[in-house]
Each structure stands twice: as structure tokens, then as C-alpha cells.
């Protein structure tokens, strides 16, 4: 059996209220409901290490795990490289920042 995995950007929304984990989950849930996608389709999430995202009790990942059992949360590889590179060399830091901007679709 040959399975293919697809990675797509589903949406990009501005957080209107705040950047708390519960608010981020509500935005995600609203989008999934709008597109008729069950939350159970989420198998993994890659994030940065901010408390609003990975906080043990009130972080986005914590709320997501309450809604989707077994979801795998990992620290984004590019973010980890960026955190290390900013202490190594200015050139490497700037290069990784361009990569992060491109991944986040913020390069103009």
C-alpha cells in the first residue's frame, strides 16, 4: 500500500482578541468547522516554544490535545536552528531569518 502525505497551508488569520492558547484553538476550530474538516485529521503540530503555544496548562498544544487525542507536538526545526544560529554568526542568523520569513510567507 502506497500512502502519500500532503502538507498544505489551510489558512492564515489575524488573532483579533489575544494570543492566548485558548483563543488560538478557537480560531483553528472555527476554520476547521468552516471547511468541514474534522479536528481528528490533525496528527501533528510543529510550533515555536512560546508559553502561549506550549504552556503545560493553558498553551495551545495543551488545549489541542484535549480535543485531539494522540496529537504529536514538536518544536519547529527551523525555529530551533534560528535560536542556535543567532548566537553563532550574524550571517547565518540573517540567512535563517530569510528562510523563516519565506516559510511564514512574510517576505515581500
How far is it, in rounded angstroms, from Cα 85 to Cα 102?
17
Q: Can you give the C-alpha Rg of the chain in angstroms?
A: 16
Ordered by start, the domain boundaries in the chain are 17-75, 76-108
Q: How is residue 93 written as a grid cell?
A: 542568523
Q: Do residues 26 and 34 make contact, with C-beta atoms less than 8 angstroms apart?
A: no
Q: Is the dihedral of CA 59, 103, 88, 80 positive or negative?
A: positive
| pLDDT, tens digit (0-9, with 9 covering 90-100), for 69-102 | 999 888 776 666 666 666 777 777 777 778 777 7
| pLDDT, tens digit (0-9, with 9 covering 90-100), for 25-72 | 999 999 999 999 999 999 888 887 777 777 888 888 899 999 999 998
The reported pTM is 0.62
pLDDT at 108 over 50: no
pLDDT for the residue 39: 92
Amino acid at each position: 500500500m502506497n500512502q502519500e502525505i500532503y502538507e498544505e497551508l489551510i489558512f492564515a488569520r489575524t488573532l483579533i482578541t489575544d494570543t492566548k492558547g485558548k483563543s488560538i484553538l478557537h480560531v483553528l476550530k472555527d476554520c476547521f468547522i468552516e471547511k468541514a474538516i474534522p479536528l481528528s485529521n490533525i496528527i501533528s503540530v510543529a510550533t515555536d516554544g512560546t508559553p502561549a503555544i506550549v504552556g503545560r496548562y493553558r498553551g495551545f498544544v495543551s488545549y489541542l490535545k484535549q480535543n485531539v487525542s494522540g496529537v504529536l507536538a514538536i518544536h519547529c526545526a527551523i525555529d530551533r536552528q534560528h535560536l542556535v544560529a543567532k548566537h553563532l554568526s550574524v550571517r547565518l542568523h540573517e540567512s535563517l531569518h530569510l528562510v523563516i520569513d519565506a516559510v511564514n510567507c512574510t517576505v515581500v
